[in-house]
Amino acid sequence: WLDLTDMMKPEESNFSNYVRGLAMVDNKYYAVPWDLGPCALYYRKDIFKEAGVDPSTIKTYDDYIAAGKKIVTKTGGKTKLIGFDYSGSTSTDMPAVFFSQLGGQYYNKNGKVQLNSDAMVKAVDLCKKMINAGVAVNLPNEWNDRISAATNDQIASIPYAVWYAGTLQAISDQKGKWGIMPLPAFTVGGNTQANEGGSALAISSQTKNAELAKAFVKFALMSSEGNKINFETSKLFTSYQKSYKDPEYTATDDYFGISIGSTFAKLSTNIPTVDFGPHFTDVNNALKTGIGNALLKKQDTKAVLKEASDTAQKAIDNE
């Protein structure tokens, strides 16, 4: 890939530590961060209110689960608090959000896979706790099933990234019913920021039009005009912090009744950094199996995540 350090160095202060680290190898930049996925809790204001749940009282995940029990009781079990794929086969996003929030790392200091870290165990066990409390619903085909569940009032909240706002907006008859608040913390006063998703643009070192390609990347990702297009067309939340002051980011959204840009800008200031490494496909494939064994098969979380770590490391060593 083309070395883009000359582009990024003058702009470093306009990107968070989280995204800068993902674009850098050996102190050189080989990509420019595109969008970021800061997370929040989307929640149904009407369902929470009818169940007597005041969202401002939800400070921790224990509070969140307690609120879920009220909602399940009030709706006669029709509406659960949250939904995700218990098998992990179609998505690991929910444990990943919680893992990010805890500042988890996929590798130890020696570069070896550590899916059985305290952070990952806590993240998966939180999902297990929600299942055991009766506030979660299994979504075997997570992306499509979540949309159906949200549409049919089967889930009352979704801890997810900024880009999911566009998906909820497609449920037009729920306009004004969804609120957005910070994620609950694992402990009182704990971190409430996390990231899920995001992307970057890189340029092939073989290109014959390096300067033209760099000019396009600079316009698309490091200009108000380019980021306006990204945000308005697909709710891609830019990593370029200068744009957070632009009208598109400060304007009130008709569907949610708040400024999506300003809300998530405040939730992207302290996202823990993470290293996905060059073999994340192997790591995530093993993680999917571990999550399924823990949540669907109800096996011991630490044991199955240790097995997942060994499987991923073996796959990496054999490449």
Cα 225 to Cα 118: distance, rounded to the nearest angstrom? 43
Q: How does residue 205 score in pLDDT terms, banded at 50, 70 and 90? A: very high
Cα 269 to Cα 271: distance, rounded to the nearest angstrom? 6
Same domain, 63 and 173: yes
Same domain, 129 and 256: no
Q: What DSSP element (H or E) covers 112?
A: none
Does some domain include residue 310?
yes
Task: Specify the 3-state DSSP secondary structure of 266.
Answer: helix
CATH classification at residue 32? 3.40.190.10
Q: What is the mean pLDDT of the chain?
A: 96
- Token look-up 């306006």 returns 228
CA distances to 128, 189, 216 from 19, rounded to whole Å, are: 30, 25, 20
Cα 79 to Cα 136: distance, rounded to the nearest angstrom? 9
Q: Which domain holds residue 51?
A: 39-194+279-317
Same domain, 97 and 228: no
- pTM for the structure as a whole: 0.94
Cα 240 to Cα 227: distance, rounded to the nearest angstrom? 8
Q: Using alpha carbons only, what angle is made at residue 39 by residues 62 and 68, rounded to the nearest 5 degrees? A: 30
Q: How does residue 308 score in pLDDT terms, banded at 50, 70 and 90? A: very high
Question: Percent of the chain at pLDDT above 90?
Answer: 94
Task: Specify the 3-state DSSP secondary structure of 127.
Answer: helix
Same domain, 30 and 44: no
- Number of structural domains found in the chain: 2
Same domain, 150 and 54: yes
Same domain, 188 and 248: no
Mean pLDDT of 29-54: 97
* CB-CB contact of 3 with 29 (8 Å): yes
Does some domain include residue 273?
no
Task: Give the pairing of strands 136-138 and 82-84.
Answer: parallel
